[in-house]
Amino acid sequence: MGRMHLLSKIHNATTNQVEGYCIIKSVAQKSNVKGSNYLDFILADAGGECAAKLWDYAPEQHGTYEADTVIKVRATINLWKEEEQLKIDRIRNIRADEAVDMAELVPCAPYAPEEMYDALYQCAQGFQDEDLRMLTQYILRENREALLRYPAALKLHHAMRGGLLYHTSTMLKAAKAVCAIYKPLYPALSEELVYAGIILHDIAKTQELTVGNIGLASAYSAKGQLLGHINMGVAMVERAAAELMTNEHTTMLLEHMLLAHHGMPEFGSPRSPMFPEAEIVSQVDVLDSKLFEMFDALANVPEGGFSERQWALDNRQLYKHGHA
């Protein structure tokens, strides 16, 4: 990570004072050698992170703070052991009516979450199969609040605020292009099954990951560790189908696509894809996740250079050819 953007937001050039919004990455109350309390922070934004201290801390005067929340600070930049450190002069939690651009604070998907969600919902709205439409839209509505902020992963592909919608939306666009090619060749191909499978394939990541208000995953949940998003996704479909009295055959097809979307047992799928639509969902998922990981790994590699080995990509080193 680089230098925090906050460190460039000068409030007073004479005193080297900065002011702006940031995220509390960690906070602990400590005591100095004189017995006075202070708060020891690691603050962060989209640019990087920095240590910070709030000296002579008094909760009734300064308020209380916790990790994974957004604050506004005014602070003085000091050097401590040749590293920049912030001495906090003023601090407060953000107010409910404050409009904060989260893209300045954390890595975010490049599209507005509401727009991506609406695109998925409208796609399902166009399904001719009423059971498939109702089931897909029902599950989308049930998970809307989480979908608007959840990442697609803890550390790997699309591990950013709104990353789950970004991954799903990109997959849907790719699948529409694939279906436009293959539907004329294979008229029996069900585009609606493909699209529903893509929209819901990772839906249970809203239960698998532990995610705070800022939209980044900090860990896997207990259910995520014990069950995994594939099994939980199938259970979500089964519950929704029972509630809506969805056609049993349609439900089974959708459940299979979720079970099979990782392709093979060694990658976590209890079943390999056993009909064409399930194969498309699986292949598009692999393509989108690997392209993201490759371009992310190459982002800071000079032209003509190689990346570090990428364990998530079979320990490959990637080459940046520069041929745009």
The answer for residues whose C-beta is within 8 angstroms of residue 119's C-beta and 6 or more apart is: 169, 172
pLDDT at site 256: 96
**303 found inside a domain:** no
pLDDT at site 267: 67
Q: Are residues 203 and 114 in the same domain?
A: yes
Burial class (CB in 10 A: 0-12, 13-18, 19+), 150: buried
Residue 305 confidence class, pLDDT cut points 50, 70, 90: very high
- Indicate if the pLDDT at residue 265 is higher than 80: no
- Indicate if the pLDDT at residue 273 is higher than 90: yes
The answer for residues whose C-beta is within 8 angstroms of residue 190's C-beta and 6 or more apart is: 277
The residue with greater pLDDT, 67 or 277, is 277
Place of tokens 């790994």: 297
Q: Are residues 154 and 223 in the same domain?
A: yes
Q: Are residues 175 and 271 in the same domain?
A: yes
Q: Are residues 115 and 82 in the same domain?
A: no
Task: Please report, rounded to a whole number, the percentage of residues in the chain having pLDDT higher than 70.
Answer: 98
The answer for residues whose C-beta is within 8 angstroms of residue 132's C-beta and 6 or more apart is: 124, 192, 193, 196, 250, 254
Longest dimension (CA), the chain: 79
Among 123, 151, 150, 147, CA closest to 137: 123
Work out the average pLDDT over 8-19: 88
| pTM for the whole structure | 0.85
pLDDT at site 1: 54
pLDDT in tens, 160-205: 999 999 999 999 999 999 999 999 999 999 999 999 999 999 999 9
For 279, the domain range is 107-298
CA distance 226 to 242: 24
pLDDT in tens, 204-226: 999 999 998 888 888 999 999 99
Burial 16-36 (b: 16+ CB within 10 A, else e): ebbebbbbbbebeeeeeeeee
pLDDT at site 266: 64
Burial class (CB in 10 A: 0-12, 13-18, 19+), 14: exposed
Q: Into how many domains does the chain fold?
A: 2
Residue 51 maps to which CATH number? 2.40.50.140
Task: Please report, rounded to a whole number, the percentage of residues in the chain having pLDDT higher than 90.
Answer: 73
